[in-house]
Amino acid sequence: MKLDVNVLRYLSKDDFRVLTAVEMGMRNHEIVPSELVDRIAGLKHGGTYKVLKNLLKYKLLHHDRSKYDGFRLTYLGYDFLAIKTLVNRGVFTGVGRQIGVGKESDIFEVAQEDGTILAMKLHRLGRTSFRAVKSKRDYLRHRSSFSWLYLSRLAALKEFAFMKALEEHDFPVPKAIDCNRHCVIMSLVQGYPMVQVKQLQNPETIFEKIIGIVVRLAEHGLIHCDFNEFNIMIDDEEKITMIDFPQMVSVSHQNAQMYFDRDIECIFKFFRKRFNMSFQEDRDDETTEVEVDENSRPSFYDITKDANALDRELEASGFTKKEQNDLDKFIEGGMEKNKDSDEDDESDDEEETVESNEEGNLSEMRSLQLQEELELEIQQWHHSFCNLVKAQRDYIQSLTGWLRLSLFQFSKNPLARSNYESKIYSFCEEWHLAIDRIPDKVASEGINSFLTAVHGIVAQQAEEHKQKKRSDSMLKDFEKKAASLRGLESKYSPYSVPEGRKKNPVIEKRAKVEFLKGKAEEEKSKHEKAVSVTRAMTLNNLQMGFPHVFQAMVGFSSVCMQAFESVYNQAKCIGEEQEEVKRLLP
């Protein structure tokens, strides 16, 4: 579906509240009932149902009546939620032309307030040509429902985390700017995909650079998994930039060597065909197959034996191990189920974590929605205030221009006309100067600083929410393992060893439970600390923000009063001569 951002201007605050409500409901519903949407959105007088019709008209929602009557987000609706959030953050102010389309993503130009052009990548896993993946791949075997939006969000989160980490380690990648839902904002790469390049000044040098990037990635513990001519950009100065990272895996992955060799083979094959480069190879004349000498290619084992731990650093950066495992399953096309009982327990635990209590989550969902609304309201306040003075200036400028044409159209010198006409013109000029003296920039900056303070609070609350989820997940994991331990203790004595096993399962299980208990207490402590930080930041930011913004508004109002009183007094003087002048005032 084509992204038409012009629709955004027709959407109200209530429209976005309902869109967000459907998104929240989709956390544990494949199809969200209208009653649940209404409860989460919290609109008055049944306004939810009217908004739902409007969103269906713009194809931001899909109404499903096949099994259950309810709604789900379309990709266009998900696009609008992500774009609106990023615009509210001030990441960009406008969406431009589409500059790329791939199997699983669309790329657009976006503009910042200062005119800087960035790239916006919208992940779209599950295009029509890839619908078979759903039936062929075991991506989320523990979920009762399947969401392409969830997969796309994971892909965007992973790409952003990897891009940021690779940039910090001086890899030639775009600069990661921000990420929200399935949308990644990055710097715009000036260049062309290698697949479009027909000739190079130094193909051997470029080949060595590209192979060097693959080797460096492996030395840092990562495999690209899709390193080919479509994901390598080159500019006019033959500078290389690597793109597209959602499929990256660790060198400890069970198929890491196969992915590494495949990346290397793609580069060799492309340069051999496109630039007629020859490599040290042995041909079998009978089978016409090419066997490349192992000495001419990088060795996976030699490179990775002392690999750095960048893959583990990325896990700590926000892309969790569970999310990595989910995405790995999608990339590989399904993994064989592990029969080990402990891993089955972990899968069950993940399922229980996802299936949270609906009633308990409503207040949490409402809180998150109110946070977004608070930022949006302050943003609109700032925007409306800036337009207030601008509208006044535009009006008086138009009025002065109209007077210049209508009263003085036969005179080159406006002041040479009648005393009455000159006074009118002088009055408008004074009005214009009075508005120019109004300190609207100071007040605007005061509102903007308050918005920054609130944004800091919201960001900290989001971090607290993430920590709470980690703490709750770890606690459930511990409780599950503790229950399993109690079952083993009732089955085996502390000193009995089952036949065929060298160690007592009770002792093994107890060690795991003790470890999880420590981790659960650690995560709980982190959450309590995050709560304290949130409360302290909320009090501090509001105590500092309120006086500043109101001081700016009081100063603005005071100067406005003086300026308009001066203009009003001058208007009264003119009014004594001619009452018709008052009609010029708005």
CB 234 within 8 A of CB 241: yes
DSSP structural state of residue 32: B
- Give pLDDT tens digits for 233-269: 999 888 999 998 877 888 887 888 888 889 999 999 9
Candidate from 3-12, 17-26, 296-305, 394-403 with smallest mean pLDDT: 296-305
Distance of CA 229 to the CA centre of its chain: 27
How far apart are the C-alpha atoms of 508 and 231, rounded to whole Å? 47
Band of residue 398 on the pLDDT scale cut at 50, 70, 90: confident
Enter the DSSP assignment of 290: E
Pick from 39, 37, 29: which is nearest to 68 by CA? 29
Residue 556 burial by CB count (10 A; 0-12/13-18/19+): exposed, middle or buried? buried
pTM of the model: 0.57
Closest alpha carbon to 195 in 270, 83, 86, 133? 270
For domain 1-88, the CATH architecture is: Orthogonal Bundle (1.10)
Q: Are the folds of 90-335 and 378-584 the same?
A: no
- Cα–Cα distance measured from residue 467 to residue 530, given in angstroms and rounded to the nearest whole number: 8
CA 7 to chain centre: 20
Element (H, E) at 172: none
Q: Are 157 and 318 in contact (CB under 8 A)?
A: yes
Whether 331 contacts 247, CB under 8 Å: yes
Q: In the structure, what pLDDT confidence band is assigned to residue 407 with cuts at 50, 70 and 90?
A: low
- Hey, what CATH topology would domain 90-335 get? Transferase(Phosphotransferase); domain 1 (1.10.510)
Across 107-121, 132-146, 272-286, least confident range: 132-146
What interhelical angle do 505-577 and 440-491 show, nearest 10? 160
Question: CATH classification of 378-584, choosing from 2.60.40, 3.30.70, 1.10.3470, 1.20.1270?
Answer: 1.20.1270
Nearest to 249 by CA among 216, 282, 218: 218
Q: Which segments of 276-340 does DSSP mark as H helices, in order? A: 300-304, 310-316, 321-332
Active site residues: 226
- Output the average pLDDT for the chain: 77
State what percent of residues in the chain have pLDDT above 70.
Answer: 74
| DSSP designation for 412 | S
**If we measure between CA atoms, which residue out of 257, 173, 254, 270 comes closest to residue 223?**
257
What is the C-alpha separation between 76 and 95, in angstroms, rounded? Answer: 14
* Domain ranges for the chain: 1-88, 90-335, 378-584
pLDDT in tens, 78-98: 999 999 999 988 899 999 999
The residues pairing with 241 across neighbouring beta strands, listed in sequence order, are 233
